[in-house]
Amino acid sequence: MRSSLGQTIVIENVTGASGSLGVGRVARAAPDGCTLVIGYWGTHVANGAVYALPYDVVSNFEPIALTVTNANLIVSKNAAPAKNLRELIGWLKANPDKAAGTTGIGSIEHVGGILFQNITGTRFHFVPYRGAAPAVQDLVAGQIDLIVENLVPSLPQIREGNIKAFAVTAKTRLAAAPEIPTVDEAGLPGFYVTAWLGLWAPKGTSQNAIAKLNSATVTALANPTVRMRLADLGFACVMFRNGTGGFNGMVRAGCTKKPFMPSISRASFVVTREKRITRPLLRSPGWLAPIGGKLRSSSSGTRTLGC
C-alpha cells in the first residue's frame, strides 16, 4: 500500500479489551483517511455483543476492504490419547473436565469452542489468555488440553511434534499444511470456523479516500510475493472491491444474526466469571454451565462461523 499511496505507513499495535481499545481510537479519529484500523470478526462483530462499547461496530466506520480469511486448526496437547478427531471427541465426552484455551471473551477460539461443544455434545472449560502465543505455550506444556486456533501460532509447534493437529476447519486443506485433514475428512462435516480480516476508516471519511485506499489494498494483495507470504501463514486473499457494499453488508449480517449473538452474550457471562476463579477451580466439573444457545446453521446442516 505504501507504494500505491506514495506515503509512509506506520503500524501501531494497540492491545487490550479484545481489540476494542485500538478500534475505539480509530472511531474517534479525524475522518481524513490517514488513521485506519485492521480489524477482524472479533473486533467488528463479536465485541458488539460482548462489551458495552463507546462506538457502534457498524455505523461508526467506513469499510475499505475485506483482505484475507484463514481457517483454524483443532489441536490438542501431546498427552491426549486420541489419534484422530473422532477419538478426540470420544475422549472429551468421557472426560468433561478438560480445559480449552481462548484469547478472550468472544474470540474466534472461544466461540469456535462453543460451536464445537454444541455440535459434538462435549463439554470443557474455557481458559482466557492475553494472546494466542501464551495459549499455545500452555498447550505445549500440557497446562490446557485443546484449542481451536489459527495456523500461525500452532504450525511451528505442530511441525516440531509438540502438539497434535486433528483437522482444518475448512472445506479444503491448507497449502501451508497439506498433511492435516479437513473437518469433513476427519469426521466432523460442516464445522467451518473461518476468521476474516478487513480494513476500516472512521465514519465520515470521504468516498474518494475510501476508493483510493480500497484500490491500494487490492493492488497490494495482488502482489505475488505478498500472496505467497500470506499463503505460507495460512491466509487466503479475498480482495473485496467496493468495500462499502459487499464488505459492509457481510459485517452487518454477522452482527444481526439470531440466535447467534445471544449465544455469545451468554458465553461472555460464563467466561467473565472465570477471571475471578483460581486456577485449581478451572478443572472443577460443573462450573461452566452448558451454553443453551446454538450458533447459526444453514439449511444444509453446515455449521459456519466467521464470514
| Domain spans, the chain | 2-67+196-256, 70-193+299-305
Neighbouring C-alpha atoms within 13 Å toward the C-beta of 163: 31
Report residue 253 as a C-alpha cell: 449480517
* pLDDT, tens digit (0-9, with 9 covering 90-100), for 250-304: 666 665 554 333 333 333 333 332 333 222 222 222 222 222 223 332 333 334 3
Query: How far is 98 from 284, CA to CA, in rounded Å?
Result: 9
User: Cα separation of 65 and 67, whole Å?
Assistant: 6
- What span, in angstroms and rounded, lies between the C-alpha atoms of 44 and 200? 10
Query: Count of residues for the chain?
Result: 307
> 31: pLDDT confidence band, cut at 50, 70 and 90?
very high
Whole-number Å distance between alpha carbons of 229 and 271: 35
Tell me whether domains 2-67+196-256 and 70-193+299-305 share a fold. Answer: yes
Q: What is the pLDDT of residues 76-129, one digit of tens each?
A: 999 999 999 999 999 999 999 899 999 877 788 888 999 999 999 999 999 999
In Å, how far from its chain's centre is CA 106? 9
What CATH topology corresponds to 2-67+196-256?
Answer: D-Maltodextrin-Binding Protein; domain 2 (3.40.190)
Given this model, what pLDDT does residue 239 score?
62
**CB under 8 Å to 88, separation ≥6 — which residues?**
74, 76, 80, 82, 146, 166
Answer yes or no: are the C-beta atoms of 80 and 87 closer than 8 Å: no
Average pLDDT score over the chain: 80
Contact 202, 56 (CB under 8 A): no
pTM for the whole thing?
A: 0.73
The answer to whether residues 69 and 305 touch, using CB atoms and an 8 Å cutoff, is: no
May I ask the CATH class of domain 70-193+299-305? Answer: alpha beta
